Amino acid sequence: MSGGPESNKVVILGGGPGGYEAAHVAAQLGADVTIVDSDGIGGSAVLTDCVPSKTLIATAELMSEVAGAAELGVNFSDSEGDAATSLRVDLGRVNARVKRLAADQSGDIARRLDKDGVRVVQGRGRLDGPGRVVVGDDSYDADAVLIATGAAPRTLPTAQPDGERILTWEQVYDLTEVPTELIVVGSGVTGAEFASAYLALGVPVTLVSSRDRVLPGEDADASLVLEEVSKRRGMTVLSKSRMESVTRDGDVVTVTLTDGRSVQGSHCILALGSVPKTDDLGLEEAGVILKDGGFVNVDRVSRTSARGVYAAGDCTGVLMLASVAAMQGRIAMWHFLGDTVHPLDLKKVSSNVFTAPEIATVGWSQESVDAGEMQAESVMLPLSGNARAKMQGVRDGFVKLFCRPGTGIVVGGVVVGPRASELIHPVAIAVAESLTADQLAQTFTVYPSMSGSVAEAARRLHRF
Ligand SMILES: Cc1cc2nc3c(=O)[nH]c(=O)nc-3n(C[C@H](O)[C@H](O)[C@H](O)COP(=O)(O)OP(=O)(O)OC[C@H]3O[C@@H](n4cnc5c(N)ncnc54)[C@H](O)[C@@H]3O)c2cc1C
């Protein structure tokens, strides 16, 4: 429980993973903890971004699996025994489930905070100097403040969401009927995930990408597989196509490109990146330096330039993931409250793109190896040769591993395939614990299993 009369006072702005995970740590270490949150405990991660999108994607995955059932010998028929003609998703029910699940998750987090003795204040907070937070007429003195206010979807003056047909990723869960033709603008992680999910839900999708390939920030071989699979399944991918504007006329949405071409559809999702919520928080007045784009500048133990003010999560722009936000928040509290702390190491972060197939990565990338930033040997093993993959009708995907030439220590990896988010874990352990490829290879895997390919890839890195 937090709080004795002598305890350190910690005030946290923002109840997302950056904020609530920090609160748990601070409470555990005996601090008196207050979280101020304006939009709901769990933050965007739980209420509008991560949890809702992955819940929608769970339905999309089921649709994909069912669509591939015939190959495994399963046919669907109606009550007369005639072949059923199509699968249909009830988007109203799917989105009701999404919202219910997000609200439940938010409730669970709030209950745990309450159990830990964390005070939750609902409202918009701002700093009044480095050691005080103001919420409406109330103020809270703090020995340390953590800024974890997150980020919001970026929009453009020429592409304004209307909440009905031109949508940010936060607004898609109000749809009750499937779009007849969806245009997704932006081929980063969020754009690629929504395009892939709606395609699986049976919606014709056009993905507008300003770059020459989708997921420009990910492993190039992985992007290639995703683009090939998406096109094969019917997605239209417009590469090197920069959006100029998005307009709506009745039921028709038009995306105009900078080269004069245009695409029409019934709905458009804007996935143009995020802007930090750092305006009007009293940050600069409190001595907190902001970087380009308004992100809070932090070091690897989450300190800002103002003494006693820490920051975590999307508002820092370090790596916009819930897992990283949570770790930055915990690190801030371990540091402030004098517990053992290891600075944030981005090379140990495993991340996943929840497309079909999924793309999971950890550690050093192919790009860094090619650029000579890290000397590494690599191997890339297609999943198509894996016995379990064959049984399950899986043809697309691969395991790629990087290891140091002399020692064989595993420094990175990429897995592309179904449930890559789970398969990356042994590679993440190897990277975190500096295991060698031989150690990874000598660990038993279940036969038959997809993880057998991780061990097999490691075996191929063996040197005499
Ligand atoms: C569509 C989508 C899918 C994603 N999927 C994943 C995923 O699968 N895995 C993953 O790891 N990451 C995912 N992310 C990223 C993840 O959602 C973010 O990295 C995460 O939300 C960051 O957490 P945070 O605590 O910094 O901020 P948030 O979760 O945004 O929480 C910040 C909270 O602070 C509140 N707030 C803001 N200003 C104030 C103020 N002045 N006073 C009080 N409260 C305030 C906000 O309202 C919000 O509740 C996804 C992002 C998007 C857009």
Question: Where does the pLDDT of residue 87 fall: very low under 50, low under 70, confident under 90, or very high at 90 and above?
Answer: confident
Give Rg (Cα) of the chain: 24
Q: 379 pairs with which residues across the strands?
A: 401
Q: How far is the CA of 315 from the centre of ligand 1 (A)?
A: 9
Long-range contacts of 237-242 (CB under 8 A, 24+ apart): 237/187, 237/206, 237/207, 237/209, 238/206, 238/207, 238/208, 238/209, 238/263, 239/209, 239/211, 239/212, 239/213, 239/214, 240/209, 240/210, 240/211, 240/212, 241/208, 241/209, 241/210, 242/210
Report the pLDDT value the prediction gives residue 7, as an integer from 0 to 100: 86
Q: List pLDDT tens digits, range 102-137.
A: 999 999 999 999 999 999 999 999 999 999 999 999
Question: Where does the pLDDT of residue 84 fall: very low under 50, low under 70, confident under 90, or very high at 90 and above?
Answer: low
Ligand 1 atom with the smallest distance to the CA of 41 is 49
Task: Outline where 153-258 has alpha helix (H).
Answer: 189-200, 220-232
Q: Judge contact between 398 and 380, C-beta under 8 A.
A: yes
| Average pLDDT value for residue range 258-283 | 98
Report the pLDDT value the prediction gives residue 209, as an integer from 0 to 100: 96
Q: Judge contact between 209 and 218, C-beta under 8 A.
A: no
Residue 62 Cα to chain centre, angstroms: 20
Q: How far is the CA of 313 from the centre of ligand 1 (A)?
A: 7
| Average pLDDT value for residue range 370-374 | 97
**Is the Cα dihedral 435, 456, 189, 323 positive or negative?**
negative
Rounded Cα distance between 362 and 402, Å, is: 10
Question: Where does the pLDDT of residue 76 fall: very low under 50, low under 70, confident under 90, or very high at 90 and above?
Answer: confident
| Average pLDDT value for residue range 416-435 | 98
Q: How far is the CA of 404 from the centre of ligand 1 (A)?
A: 36
- Compute the mean pLDDT over every residue in the chain, rounded to the nearest whole number: 96
Torsion from C-alpha of 370, 371, 377, 383, nearest 10 degrees: -40
Q: Is the CB of 42 under 6 A from ligand 1?
A: no
Q: List pLDDT tens digits, range 390-423.
A: 999 999 999 999 999 999 999 999 999 999 999 9
Of the candidates 222, 217, 215, the residue with the CA atom closest to the CA atom of residue 398: 222
Give the range among 73-82, 220-229, 328-337, 419-428 with minimum mean pLDDT.
Answer: 73-82
Q: Is the CB of 277 under 6 A from ligand 1?
A: yes
Report the pLDDT value the prediction gives residue 381, as an integer from 0 to 100: 98
